[in-house]
């Protein structure tokens, strides 16, 4: 599912609230999961979103591979009888910036490196380690958050290429438990929002775009989901 919102609509909304675009989209996404599922209001698990953070801004790297870690942010729906969107904004305000500092990312990176350098861990055969890592990710990593929100920022293509590109689509690979993912990308005029996953239910996407429209943004949505569950 692909949503388009004019930047001239979304940027004033974000600026008026004193937020970054990623901060705002994170709150909208969290609230969409909460609003779309009444059971979430009584769940013991918090509603949390993983936000990938590029480490290239902190450490020089020429690698073409992903070089990032995840900040996980959210709120506990049991903290109040009912959360409004303003409550979600208040619960998450400032937390993304605090969780993505060089110090926080360095601490996470050191934790990963210390495991790799553990003498006992290094003696384990790679085939067994791969299976253990997959199991650990399924039991722990996949349970830490409800979904992923990745803001790729502004798309900058070389002039010789930009003249021939009509559209760009971004699809994130799903996890065993994260059945819905969201990617944000902007060009000169529009903020593009791409939802992908294995679920045919559209309740979360509908709540997401409804919230944006309710804030005054003009939203255009395209979908190739066949037999979608829930109202369009």
**In order of start, what are the domains of the chain with their CATH numbers?**
2-222 (3.30.559.30)
Say whether pLDDT at 6 is over 60: yes
Between 194 and 37, where is the model more confident? 194
pLDDT tens column, 179-218:
789 999 998 899 999 999 888 889 999 999 999 999 999 9
- Which pLDDT belongs to residue 135? 67
Percent of the chain with pLDDT over 90: 47
List, as one string, the DSSP characters of 70-121. EEEEEE-GGGSSS--HHHHHHHHTTHHHHHTSHHHHHHHHHHHHHHHT-HHH
d(CA 190, CA 135): 40
pLDDT tens column, 52-73:
998 888 988 888 888 888 899 9
- In the predicted model, what is the mean pLDDT of residues 87-109? 91
What burial letters (b/e) apply to 159-176, b meaning 16+ CB within 10 Å? eeeeeeeeeeebebebbe
Tell me the H-state helices in the chain. Answer: 7-16, 21-36, 85-92, 95-99, 102-116, 119-123, 126-139, 159-162, 203-214
- Which pLDDT belongs to residue 230? 46
- Which pLDDT belongs to residue 176? 60
- Which pLDDT belongs to residue 149? 95
- Which pLDDT belongs to residue 198? 81
pTM > 0.75: yes or no: yes
From 112, 121, 114, select the one nearest 141 (Cα to Cα). 112
Between 168 and 19, where is the model more confident? 19
Secondary-structure breakdown of the chain: helix, strand, coil percentages, each rounded to the nearest 5: 45, 20, 35
- Which pLDDT belongs to residue 166? 81
Say whether pLDDT at 152 is over 70: yes
- Which pLDDT belongs to residue 232? 40
């Amino acid at each position: 599912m692909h949503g388009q919102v004019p930047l001239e609509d979304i940027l004033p909304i974000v600026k008026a609230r004193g937020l970054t675009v990623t901060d705002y989209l994170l709150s909208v996404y969290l609230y969409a999961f909460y609003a779309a599922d009444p059971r979430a209001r009584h769940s013991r698990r918090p509603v949390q979103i993983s936000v990938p953070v590029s480490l290239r801004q902190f450490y020089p790297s020429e690698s073409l591979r992903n070089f990032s870690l995840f900040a996980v942010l959210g709120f506990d729906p049991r903290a109040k009888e009912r959360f409004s969107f303003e409550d979600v904004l208040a619960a998450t305000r400032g937390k993304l910036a605090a969780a993505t500092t060089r110090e926080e990312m360095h601490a996470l990176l050191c934790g990963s490196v210390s495991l790799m350098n553990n003498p006992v861990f290094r003696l384990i055969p790679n085939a067994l380690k791969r299976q253990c890592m997959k199991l650990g990710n399924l039991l722990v990593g996949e349970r830490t958050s409800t979904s992923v929100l990745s803001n790729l920022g502004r798309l900058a293509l070389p002039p010789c290429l930009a003249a021939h590109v009509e559209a760009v689509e971004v699809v994130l690979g799903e996890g065993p438990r994260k059945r819905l993912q969201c990617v944000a990308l902007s060009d000169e005029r529009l903020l593009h929002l791409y939802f992908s996953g294995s679920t045919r239910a559209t309740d979360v996407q509908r709540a997401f775009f409804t919230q944006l429209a309710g804030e005054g943004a003009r939203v255009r949505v395209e979908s190739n989901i066949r037999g979608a569950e829930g109202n369009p």
